[in-house]
Structure 1
Amino acid sequence: MKITYNGFDENLLFEGLILPYFQDHEVDYGGVTLLNNNKLPIQYLKDKELFLGKKGEVHSISFSDGDRNLDVMLIGLGKKEELTGNVLRKAVGKGYRELKKKKPTSIGVYLNHVVEGLKCSYAIGRNTAEAIVMTDYKFDSYKTDNKKELLEEVTLLFDGIDEEFKNGFEEGISIGNSTILARVLVNEPANVLTPTDLAERVKNLGVEKGFEVEVYELEKIQELKMESYLSVAKGSAEPPKFIIMRYTGNPGGETLGLVGKGLTYDSGGLSIKPTKSMNTMKNDMGGASAVIGAMSAIAENKLKVNVTAVVAACENMISGRSYKPGDIIGSMGGKTIFIGNTDAEGRLTLIDAMYYIVNHEKVAKVVDIATLTGAAIHCLGHTATVGIGNDDEFFDMIDKSFNKAGENIWRMPIFEEYKELVKHSEADLTNVAGSPGTITAGIFVGEFAGDIPWIHLDIAGTAWAEKDKDYISKGGTGVGVRSLYYLAKEMAE
């Protein structure tokens, strides 16, 4: 499916048309030639309260003109003064999803009146393009009876097409596709996306997008004394892969570090999960997919910033070599860890990755992102990502980046009493510190970040969707890709 834009060529014809409408709108679109002189029954819809233009509302109308049928989807934007990029993104996504059910071969998205609420043509182009790209995705690669996609082209229609609109459009396409890339990685079954396969895909992406990729094999990982990471990996027949991505857009400048949890499958180890909980454990590398997608977008858009990302990829499986509850293991950072539960494995891979990126890649700031704890879901459900951090200014930057992406984040506190919980009588630390679990897990990882500004993001509740909604597709959501991209963009010169 092709996505483009046009400044209203009179010869344009579409089988589907998306018309945004404000709650306080007085326009009936009577002058829009694309409607073939058909008049929209706006007042009738208002009187019947079938469509008022409220946020989240959609309403479909069909017109027939000889051999041609036109399906119009009205989408509500709410009040003009309350319009944001994410309101537009959600409205376009919902309308597009509903209109595709009509099976048009072409769709036009009329954006002229949007400027009355969202004044910036760049934001209009970017958010609309993002919405179309992300909503269009669905995971059906393994269906053998897939029918041919009927929709061939989507055109954004806007009279004010300028360089800002074009730049926003191109960026929206790029970061939308980078989000899809992350969704694909999460959705791939674990028998296909092994640590080895993930490493190969990242190598190919590096060549395609323009960032350096280095992969450490088992021998090098052992040489670095990543005992915590290796303890998780050793129960699997699949070898671990330590993946390093480096993008240099500002030589001589400081470097942002990204650490993504990369469990391509998590059985729970000897603390085995119930079957129902294992069905979606291919998504336990949602953090890895987020940093991979972000790196792709950062490099593709040639941001003037330096970013290094690492992923300690492995599986958490069961064998005679598996690590056990009650074990005491070492770590690259030198601290010993008491194993209270082998299903608290993600933090064990993250701490060696964290210590490595801080001490070997010399990053100035670092963010780790992981599907880490069920406690995150108990705290915030599936609506928001849990965040904690040691630097207010840096956290303010990530907060703004999440807001720009339309992704929710909520900061949790780090009290001294919580720090005491991760300590253990038999070792320096324990990988199971009890409640509040989402905070203590993050603090455990933060023990290896040193003194630099650090943020921990727990996406256990936001990395996976059980159903389609707005521009989110069922399965992997790609959460974090755009937020991390905007963080890097904020740091760019």
Structure 2
Amino acid sequence: MEFSFESDLKEIKCGVLFVCLTKEALKKEKKGLLEEFIEIAEKTDDFKADKSQSALIVLPKGFKAKKLSLVGLGEEKELEKEDLRKTVGVLIKVAKAKKIEEIGIAFKSNFKEKDWIEVCSETPILADYSFSKYKSKPKKKEEEETKIQKVFFGTKKSSELEKIVKEKEIIAVNVNLVRELVNENAKDKNPFLLAKKAKEICKKAKIKCTIIEEKQLKKLKAELILAVGQGAVEKPRIVVLEYFGANKKEKPVLLVGKGITFDSGGINLKPTGYIETMKEDMAGAATVLGIIKTAKELNLKKNIIALMGLAENAIGSNSYKPGDIFKGFNGKTVQVGNTDAEGRLVLADTLAFGVTKFKPKLVIDYATLTGLAAHITGGYSSCFLSNKDELFKEMFEAGNTVFERVWQLPLYKEFSEDIKGEISDLINASKNKYGSVSFAAAFLKEFVGETDWIHLDIAPSAFNHEKESEYCAKGGTGFGVRLTIEYLKK
């Protein structure tokens, strides 16, 4: 997708020029460039710039655009940045439906120029994405999906704005990369294939990539991750990604992603209605890959290590069994209370390995860990838990900025008491049927030591199950990339 600036709206040559106005801006523009068209819109469509209201003028006199669309934003005081994203997302869908490949966008509001340019740089890329690689090619060209080729911004070009566009473009493209990985068939991204794909991506991005395979994991005595994957044909792996954007003596930030390439639930088999989308259970691993690639391309002045803990939780004669006890990388023994609580076992060994080897200043893990997380947040945010409460404020603010929101849940010492085993150090599933999100986090806490650590349960946010949003199709969302880049920048 190409982006261009043009301050003179009359000179934007495109299929449709969208001019988005608040009610207050509408009054001002009645005496400006758009006066004639506003009069037409008011007479023919009763246009008042109400939220989501629009009016279309074909072949606007004096304009190079084929069509001019006035789009209402409502009242200034009620307008938020996410409203701009949703508006642009809808505009992209409208253009695609009308087979228009080149569009112009201008905003008339009190929003700072850089804010709406940020929105218009990332949202078209996000809204234009669809997972269609397995659809048959239409016989007629007019039935093919239209992709947006060019977006004009109705404002003057500056080095500051060009920098914003480039940054947001890089971020959005990598969000779509994560979406693509999450949406892929489980059979085409088993631990071997996903590790191979990560290596290919990192080679192009010039990121160091090392794959720790089954033989090495056995030497490391990482029995937890090995147990989860022992019933699958392709055995577990940990993919290590390294980017150094600061002095190498500076301690890195460690990002750890859960990568269950398909989660059958194991012997505690998942039922119909839950198992069908379990290809998504590697979203955390895809997310850390997307984050480190984005950081590299943005030249962030940070040292980042990303670990992808990969395993397939398959069911078979060699699958690990409820009641079995295994020893983790850090020496703690764990009794399996439920084979469908496998993600925390994979993360446990991956976290302990990362903390021991890289001695990070901060650990953030990403995992579609508990289905009940969505019941807590309603699917409107992900869950944040940490061994240091002070870390929440900045992550919360970053989430609100990019609308990838997080909400803090408690990690009381009682949760840690409830995961202690009777014949082992720990159990992977508490007998307490309440508070599963916090119990899972309490389990992971046992494997990070005293290192500052954030756990993000992204189960509510990583996959659109029911319906698409204005700028995110059904399926993988890429949640966590925009959030973390914003957080790391601060």
Q: TM-score, with normalisation over the residues of structure 2?
A: 0.92
Residues 1:134 and 2:126 aligned together:
yes
Q: Is the 8 A contact 2:96 2:145 kept in 1?
A: no
CA distance in 1, matches of 2:474, 2:420: 39
Unaligned 5+ segments in structure 1 are none
Say if 1:203 and 1:168 are closer, same or farther in 2 by CA, change over 3 A.
Answer: same
Per-residue Cα deviation, 1:220-252 (whole angstroms, up to 9, x for no partner)? 111111100000011100122210111100022
Mapped contact 2:23–2:48 kept (Cα < 8 A): no
Aligned partners of 2:173, 2:164: CA distance in 1, in Å? Answer: 14
**2:452 aligns to what?**
453
Structure 2 residue aligned with 1:483: 483
1:278-318 Cα shifts (integer Å, max 9, x gaps) = 11111001111111111111000000111111011110001
- Decide whether aligned partners of structure 1 residues 337 and 160 sit closer, same or farther in structure 2, where only a CA change above 3 A counts: same
Which residue of 1 is the match for residue 166 of structure 2? 170
In structure 2, relative to structure 1, the CA distance for the partners of 1:289 and 1:73 (3 Å cut) is farther
Taking the TM superposition and a 5 Å limit, the aligned residue runs for 1:154-193 are 154-193=150-189
Map Cα deviations across residues 160-209 of structure 1 (whole Å, 9 max, x no partner).
32121111111110100010000000000101112122112211222222
Matches within 5 A, 1:154-303: 154-251=150-247, 252-303=249-300
The C-alpha deviation readout for 1:77-136, integer Å capped at 9, x for no partner, is 34334544333222211222233212213211123x24xx222x3333222111111000
Secondary structure, aligned partner of 1:279: coil
3-state secondary structure, aligned to 1:277 = coil
Deviations 1:297-341 (A, max 9, x none): 100000011111101111000111100111111111111111111
Determine the structure 2 residue equivalent to 1:85: 81
On the 8 A contact 1:261/1:285 being kept in 2, the answer is yes
Distance change >3 Å, CA 389–CA 16, structure 1 → 2: same
Question: 1:208–1:58: structure 2 CA closer, same or farther, 3 Å change rule?
Answer: farther
Distance 1:190 1:443 in 2: 29
User: 2:280, 2:476 within 8 Å by CA — same for their partners in 1?
Assistant: yes
Conserved in 2, the CA contact under 8 Å of 1:187 and 1:476? yes
TM-superposition CA deviations, 1:59-83 (whole Å, max 9, x none): 35252579x9944444443433454
Supply the distance in 1 between the matched residues of 2:316 and 2:20 (Cα, whole angstroms). Answer: 57
SS in 2 for 1:214: strand
The CA distance in 2 between the partners of 1:368 and 1:45, in whole Å, is 54
Who is 1:354 aligned against?
Answer: 351
Q: Check whether the contact 2:96–2:146 (CA below 8 A) recurs between aligned residues.
A: no
**1-structure distance, mates of 2:147, 2:310:** 37
Q: Which residue of 1 aligns with 2:338?
A: 341
Aligned residues: 479
CA contact (8 A) 1:175 1:297 kept: yes
Return closer, same or farther for 1:89/1:419 CA change in 2, 3 Å cut-off.
same
In structure 2, relative to structure 1, the CA distance for the partners of 1:424 and 1:158 (3 Å cut) is same
CA gap 1:388/1:69 in 2 versus in 1, 3 angstroms: same
Shift of 1:151: 4.5
| Cα distance between partner residues in 1 of 2:187 and 2:359 | 35
CA drift of 1:472 comes to 1.4
In the alignment, what sits opposite 1:395?
Answer: 392
Match of 1:441 in 2: 440
| Closer/same/farther in 2, CA of residues 202 and 5 from structure 1, 3 Å limit | farther
CA distance in 2, matches of 1:31, 1:102: 29
Q: 2:319 aligns with which of 297, 307, 322?
A: 322
**Whole-Å Cα distance in 2 between the matches of residues 170 and 250 of structure 1?**
21
2-structure distance, mates of 1:152, 1:482: 22
Equivalent position of 2:427 in the other structure: 430
The question of 1:61 aligning with 2:53 is answered no
- Provide the secondary structure at the position in 2 that maps to 1:486: helix
Distance 1:326 1:16, change over 3 A: same
CA contact (8 A) 2:253 2:361 kept: yes
Question: Is the Cα contact below 8 Å between 1:123 and 1:165 reproduced in 2?
Answer: no
Residues 156, 354 of structure 1: CA spacing in aligned structure 2 closer, same or farther, 3 A cutoff?
same
Counterpart of 1:254 in 2: which secondary structure? coil
Task: Quote the sequence identity (%).
Answer: 32
Distance 1:464 1:152 in 2: 24
Supply the AA of the counterpart residue of 1:181.
L
4+ long deviations beyond 6 Å: none
Runs of 5+ consecutive residues of structure 2 not aligned to the other structure: none
* Partner Cα distance (1:62, 1:177) in 2: 33
In the TM superposition, residue 276 of structure 1 has moved relative to its aligned partner by: 2.6
- C-alpha distance in structure 2 between counterparts of 1:30 and 1:181, whole Å: 45
Q: 1:427 to 1:75 in 2, by over 3 A?
A: farther
Distance 2:214 2:280 in 1: 23
Matched, 1:125 2:136: no
CA distance in 1, matches of 2:308, 2:147: 37
1:107 aligned to which of 103, 106, 114: 103
2:98 aligned counterpart, secondary structure: coil
Deviations 1:430-484 (A, max 9, x none): 1111320011111111111111111111111111113221111111001001111
Moved more, 259-268 or 198-207: 198-207
The question of whether the paired residues in 2 share the 8 Å contact of 1:139 and 1:184 is answered with yes
Cα distance change on mapping 1:12 and 1:18 into 2, 3 Å: closer
Over 3 Å counting, the alpha-carbon distance change for 1:10 and 1:264 in structure 2 is same
SS for the counterpart of 1:144 is: coil
Question: In the aligned structure 2, how far is the partner of 1:81 from the partner of 1:289?
Answer: 38
**Residues 129 and 176 in structure 2, CA contact (< 8 A), matched pair in contact too:** yes
Partner AA of 1:202 in structure 2: A
Change (3 A) 1:441 1:69: same
**Contact 2:420–2:426 at 8 Å: present in 1 too?**
yes
Shift of 1:154: 2.7
RMSD, matched Cα: 2.3
For 1:221, what is the secondary structure of its paired residue? helix
Q: Distance in 2 between matches of 1:74 and 1:336?
A: 64
